[in-house]
Amino acid sequence: MISRFLSGLLLFFIFLHPGKIFAQHNLLLNGGFEDINTCTEYNAECGVEAWFYLLEVKAQMQTNETNIDLLGFNSLAVDYKWQGFEGLSPVIGTILPCRLQKDSTYIFRGIFSATLNALLIMKPGVALGEKFYVPQRPFSTQMQPAEITSIKQIPKTNFFRFEYSFTATGKEKYLTFGTFISKDTTKKMKLTRTPIITLTMDDFELRSVNSNEVVCNYYEANKKKIYGYNFRHREMDNNLFTKGELPIDLAKIDSNYLTNFETPKKTIKPDTLKLSDVLFDFNKADLKPEGIKMLEFFFYPVELNQTIDSIYIEGHTDSIGSDEKNFKLSFDRSKSVQSWLTLNHILSPEQIQIHSFGRTRPVADNKNAKGRALNRRVEVIIFRQTEQ
């Protein structure tokens, strides 16, 4: 058996520019590694909340000097030694706050960058089961680690996005992320020293392919308990290596511990009313009588507007004139429509938003009169309430 294959594991937290915020149905806790854990041993920041790892760990906050917008404020960087083991070497793992639905399909995805010896080949991997995956330990024998083969480089960066699809057994409690590393047999050179692998990870997600599947009733309670585990170093390593789990007593495993399904909602498609340039005074924002008649035809009688939730008004111009003039004209025309709607009690002012785009969003060619006429417009987008 390999000797605690991740000895010398080192984690860093790197300051990065704010990036993507996870949607509400990400079934992983702290997938962006934004929440920092303060460990009990030193009463200092020494890990990320909800994510766990083996052996001696050192963590610190470092300023990141790269400018990659897709990463959040923190990313997780890991250094570890490769000692020749070609199976899945676990890097980090997490506890799922909700059990998954048996036979449902889920997608695990994230981004990473890697630095390793040119003589090595690396692929990311994952293991899911009732335990944290540790190679050649009795509790891991029934687990089947998988290589993640869907990997695409993110343009103009040294990061890759991975994606892994699987069908749940309903018994998944731990998700372990790691690497498969092997020697490149096409190269005859020998490794002269123990290679060190460096990974930087971020934007981890676990989602159901069913868009109506949401977290379980015990999600917040379990999150609080998992975040409350503040032990790192020897305490954490001993439990993961010897038992494959941490002494975290989650809520009772019953139907409330399973993910839920929201009732699908039928959304009415928004309407768009287009007011052309001829419905306004030439080069001005005032509505002509014809423009007012069109609004009256669309919005009267007022009782029919009870299903309207909000309205978004966009103002557009052709390419003739300065940007400043075009933005002002498109804004003033949008404002005129907003004023008519509020004065006639169609909606309250806070339910109506306006935005002037000037000439930045043409729908036709500005090189001819017909195209320019089409580009001079105000679009009134009506969002209606949803129905069960």
Neighbouring residues of 168: CB distance < 8 A, sequence distance ≥ 6? 100, 101, 102, 103, 104, 105, 106, 128
The strands making up 377-384's β-sheet, listed across from edge to edge, are: 271-276, 377-384, 308-316, 352-358
For 205, the token pair is: 């997600």
Instruction: Judge residue 123's burial from the number of C-beta atoms within 10 Å of its C-beta, 0-12 exposed, 13-18 middle, 19 or more buried.
Output: middle
Segment 83-90 shows an average pLDDT of 91
Q: Is the pTM of this model over 0.75?
A: no
- Give domain 271-384's CATH superfamily: OmpA-like domain (3.30.1330.60)
Give the Cα separation of 165 and 335 in Å (integer).
49
- CB-CB contact of 197 with 135 (8 Å): no
Q: What is the mean pLDDT of the chain?
A: 84
More confident residue, 18 or 63: 63
Neighbouring residues of 343: CB distance < 8 A, sequence distance ≥ 6? none
The Cβ of residue 225 has, within 10 Å, a number of other Cβ atoms equal to: 16
What is the per-residue pLDDT across 1-17, written as a single tens digit (0 to 9) for each? 333 433 333 333 222 33
Q: Is the pLDDT of residue 270 over 70?
A: yes
Q: Is the pLDDT of residue 371 over 60?
A: yes
For 352, the token pair is: 């109506």
**The predicted structure's pLDDT at residue 11:** 32
More confident residue, 245 or 69: 245
Find, among 327, 20, 76, the residue nearest to 199 by Cα: 76
**The predicted structure's pLDDT at residue 386:** 61
What is the per-residue pLDDT across 33-65, written as a single tens digit (0 to 9) for each? 888 888 887 787 777 899 998 874 443 443 444
**The predicted structure's pLDDT at residue 71:** 66
For 193, the token pair is: 């020293």
**What is the DSSP secondary structure assignment for residue 157, as one 8-state letter?**
S
Segment 292-316 shows an average pLDDT of 87
Segment 198-219 shows an average pLDDT of 91
Q: Regarding beta strands 308-316 and 196-208, do their DSSP bridges make them parallel or antiparallel, or are they unpaired?
A: unpaired
Domain boundaries along the sequence of the chain: 10-261, 271-384
**What is the DSSP secondary structure assignment for residue 322, as one 8-state letter?**
-
Report the share of the chain in percent with pLDDT over 70: 87
Give the Cα separation of 174 and 160 in Å (integer).
24
What is the per-residue pLDDT across 93-116, written as a single tens digit (0 to 9) for each? 999 999 999 999 999 999 999 999
The class (CATH top level) of 10-261 is mainly beta
